[in-house]
A and B are shown apart, each in its own frame.
Chain A
Amino acid sequence: MSNSKVLFFCWLALVVATAVTVYLGGSAMTLAGQVAAVLIVAIIKSGLIIDGFMELRHTERRWRVIMYGWPLAMSLIIAATLLIPYFMAS
């Protein structure tokens, strides 16, 4: 598959994933379920940008680890700060 096609499918997946994110954000799930679902989609979207648009899928693993580390760390921090009070209250 040409790189242009890869980029197109990444863009399409990103748009669909954004729509899914908005749907999940407004759904009547528990907070824990909503946070987990929305952040998993955010990490997938980050991967599409890092490996697709930035093309790090072709480069040394350490750069992918560093770049994937940022959305993973942010998602963990967001989840922890939202869910720790939620579980302490329940």
Chain B
Amino acid sequence: MSTSSKSTTPQALPGDLAMWIFILAELAAFTLFILAFTVTQMLYPDLFAAGRAELDPSTGFAMTVGLLSSGFLAALAVERVRVNQARQAALLLVAAIASAMVYVVLKLSEYTHLAHAGFDLEYNMFFTLYWLLTLFHFLHVWLGLLVLAFLAWRCMRLGFNAENRSGMESGVMYWHMIDLAWVIIFPLVYLLG
């Protein structure tokens, strides 16, 4: 899809309409968790400030860069499929999975550190909502990684091409939705307040 096009006619959504409806439903689910976190934070600001002090923003930064780099590589993979270079797309998707593993490893390390320090799900309201919100996102990352792995496998078998790419675009759009949710969750949980 060239950005140099002079056409003013809107183009079709990338991927299937059903995936976009699913993405909106997923964002609605994230909204409920974010609302629970923000409203409880309004009621217990000092408790949330103390809880947030146990988190490391630099780890959050590295996790965010891992996810965003993965989204970039997945978007490049879609570009490769559009020019019938599915095998190159498969390699880019494998790189996207590797980049996302930076997030997974750091998140697991953070979870382990907090659990060993006693900041578990029942420690206080901040950590209850921290675990629920970030675990909800973490599970979506795992689902997204499975989707990327399936797309890489299909690309390796030349299952997508310029004419048949809707499934590829749909899977990658889902992955971008996970990035979008994290862009809001990261400052809320690690930085603000």
| Selected interface stretch from B6-14, B111-119, B133-141, B151-159 | B6-14
For B, the interface residue count at a CB cutoff of 8 angstroms equals 46
Are A78 and B57 neighbours in the complex by a CB distance under 8 Å? no
Residues of B contacting A56 with CB < 8 Å?
13
- Chain B interface SS verdict (over half): helix
- Chain A interface SS verdict (over half): helix
Are A81 and B38 neighbours in the complex by a CB distance under 8 Å? yes
Known: A77-B38, A82-B41, A84-B42. A21 touches B186 (CB 8 A): yes
Q: Which residue of B lies closest to A13 (CB)?
A: B68
Are B20 and A1 neighbours in the complex by a CB distance under 8 Å? no
Are B31 and A59 neighbours in the complex by a CB distance under 8 Å? no
52-93 of chain B: CB within 8 A of chain A: 57-58, 60-61, 64-65, 68-69, 71-72, 75-76, 79
Known: A53-B71, A59-B13, A82-B193. A19 touches B61 (CB 8 A): yes
For A, the interface residue count at a CB cutoff of 8 angstroms equals 50
Interface residues of A (CB under 8 A from B): 1-4, 6-8, 10-11, 14-15, 18-19, 21-22, 24-26, 31, 34-35, 38-39, 42, 45-46, 49-50, 52-56, 58-61, 63, 66, 70-71, 73-75, 77-78, 81-82, 84-85
The contact sample of 25 A-B pairs, CB cut-off 8 A, is: A4-B79, A7-B79, A8-B72, A11-B71, A15-B65, A18-B68, A22-B60, A22-B61, A24-B191, A25-B187, A38-B187, A42-B183, A46-B183, A49-B183, A53-B75, A53-B179, A58-B10, A70-B27, A74-B34, A75-B184, A77-B35, A78-B38, A78-B184, A81-B42, A85-B45
